């Protein structure tokens, strides 16, 4: 038999979850630092039964040792006054002979997965709320029109305009929700096409024409080099710049400038790959940087009223984040109250031949 490259203790030390090693008599013979952290005490030399006494656990231990099979127990326990939902895995290992059979117990805290479930529930609640608000308003106006406004042409026109706006709002929300789910589905598939950044920015700028006319904003592009090529999904990259330019125009001042500057940058952790950084700067009111870490969360809006007023859904930056993840890029945000904001997109460039 070849010599083992490392001991079982060294192996469990590398695990990112609590792992406990017990002998046949259930005496704890070794633990990793995650286990010491979780139980908040050194455990070696104590009996495992001091930690777990649940009948399910005892049954798994017995069966795992006698049948030499991996067994799993799900338990709920309260530790430091917090209820935890744990999955325990019992893995019997024969060290040299059956006489030296030990049990490797690993512990997975399912409460962490629970918070993902909570996020999903919050998302569904948010979507329902966002859809219900315009729907309630639509019902209200339909009732009013049915009852008494048919003969008043001016009121009728006004109500129909409001109804049209509410329907638009629902439509935008559904469109962004579909976009988000599509982007999430293919987030792990690497894009395969070569895309030229100038084309993307040109198309995105042109798509802003109705908005730039409405707000009398000018989009000024600088630093663009026709050699900037990216491995990407063209439509998705256009969507990134559409969303960021739309925000800069809508949250910037009317009749102002939105500046889009491109430059070549080196990322510290990837010294041999060139990246392009595209800054989108507006001279609007900006915001307290305290909001920055949460801005790409779905439905997170600094000023809900303002977002609604400009036709926002609260999903634009979440979509941007997912698309950039897919492209191995990232978003950097900085803002100064009263001065404006800069949203920077950093993307890896294809190597030049
Ligand atoms: N250029 C900007 N200036 C000021 N605030 C911004 C800017 N871009 C985004 N925000 C803030 O970030 C929030 C989230 O943006 P986004 O996801 O695009 O949603 P929305 O549909 O509300 O525009 C906005 O509601 C707004 O509060
Ligand atoms: Mg937006």
> Residue 3 falls within a domain, yes or no?
no
Domain of 72, CATH number, reads: 3.30.450.20
Q: Is 102 in the pocket of ligand 1 (CB under 6 A)?
A: no
Domain count, the chain: 3
Q: Is 248 in the pocket of ligand 1 (CB under 6 A)?
A: yes
Percent of the chain, pLDDT > 70?
Answer: 96
Pick from 126, 295, 318 the residue to mutate for probing ligand 1's pocket: most ligand atoms within 8 Å of its CB: 295
What residues contact residue 321 under an 8 Å CB cut-off, 6+ apart? 296, 331
Pick from 316, 319, 321, 339 the residue to mutate for probing ligand 1's pocket: most ligand atoms within 8 Å of its CB: 316
pLDDT band at 97 (very low <50, low <70, confident <90, very high): low
Ligand nearest to the CA of 312: 1
Domain of 120, CATH number, reads: 1.10.287.130
Is residue 163 within a helix (H) or strand (E), and if so which, with residue range? Answer: helix 153-185
In terms of domains, do 349 and 256 share one? yes
3-state DSSP call for residue 40?
A: coil
Sign of the CA dihedral running 254, 259, 260, 265: negative
Please say whether the beta carbons of 320 and 243 come within 8 A.
yes
CA 63, chain centre distance (Å): 41
**Residue 91, Cβ density class (10 Å: 0-12 exposed, 13-18 middle, ≥19 buried):** middle
Among 143, 168, 185, the domain-final residue is: 185
pLDDT tens figures, 211-241: 999 999 999 999 998 889 999 999 999 999 9
pLDDT tens figures, 18-32: 999 998 888 999 999
pLDDT tens figures, 157-185: 999 999 999 999 999 999 999 999 999 88
The CA 169 to ligand 1 mean position distance, Å, reads 16
Q: Is 247 in the pocket of ligand 1 (CB under 6 A)?
A: yes
The CA 247 to ligand 1 mean position distance, Å, reads 6
């Amino acid at each position: 038999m070849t010599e083992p490259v490392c001991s079982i203790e060294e192996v469990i030390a590398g695990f990112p979850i609590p792992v406990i090693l017990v002998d046949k008599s259930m005496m704890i013979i070794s633990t990793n630092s995650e286990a010491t952290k979780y139980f908040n005490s050194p455990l070696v030399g104590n009996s495992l039964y001091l930690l777990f006494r649940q009948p399910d656990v005892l049954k798994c231990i017995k069966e795992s040792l006698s049948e030499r099979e991996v067994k799993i127990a799900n338990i709920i326990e309260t530790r430091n006054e917090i209820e935890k939902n744990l999955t325990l895995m019992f893995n019997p290992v024969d060290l040299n002979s059956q006489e030296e059979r030990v049990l490797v117990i690993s512990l997975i805290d399912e409460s962490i997965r629970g918070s993902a479930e909570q996020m999903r529930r919050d998302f569904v609640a948010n979507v329902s709320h966002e859809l219900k608000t315009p729907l309630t308003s639509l019902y209200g106006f339909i009732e009013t029109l049915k009852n008494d406004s048919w003969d008043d042409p001016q009121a009728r026109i006004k109500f129909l305009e409001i109804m049209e706006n509410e329907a638009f709002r629902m439509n935008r929300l559904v469109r962004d929700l579909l976009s988000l789910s599509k982007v999430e589905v293919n987030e792990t598939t690497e894009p395969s096409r070569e895309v030229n950044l100038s084309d993307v920015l040109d198309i995105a700028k042109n798509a802003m024409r109705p908005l730039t006319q409405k707000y009398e904003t000018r989009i000024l592009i600088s630093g663009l080099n026709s050699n900037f090529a990216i491995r990407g999904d063209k439509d998705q990259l256009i969507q990134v710049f559409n969303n960021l330019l739309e925000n800069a125009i809508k949250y910037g001042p009317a009749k102002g400038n939105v500046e889009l500057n491109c430059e070549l940058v080196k990322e510290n952790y990837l010294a041999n790959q060139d990246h392009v950084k595209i800054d989108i700067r507006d001279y609007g009111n900006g915001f307290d940087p305290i909001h920055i870490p949460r801005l790409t969360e779905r439905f997170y809006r600094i000023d809900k009223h303002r977002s609604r007023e400009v036709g926002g859904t609260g999903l634009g930056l979440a979509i941007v984040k997912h698309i950039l993840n897919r492209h191995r890029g990232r978003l950097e945000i900085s803002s100064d109250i009263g001065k404006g904001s800069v949203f920077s997109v950093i993307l890896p460039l294809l190597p030049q031949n």
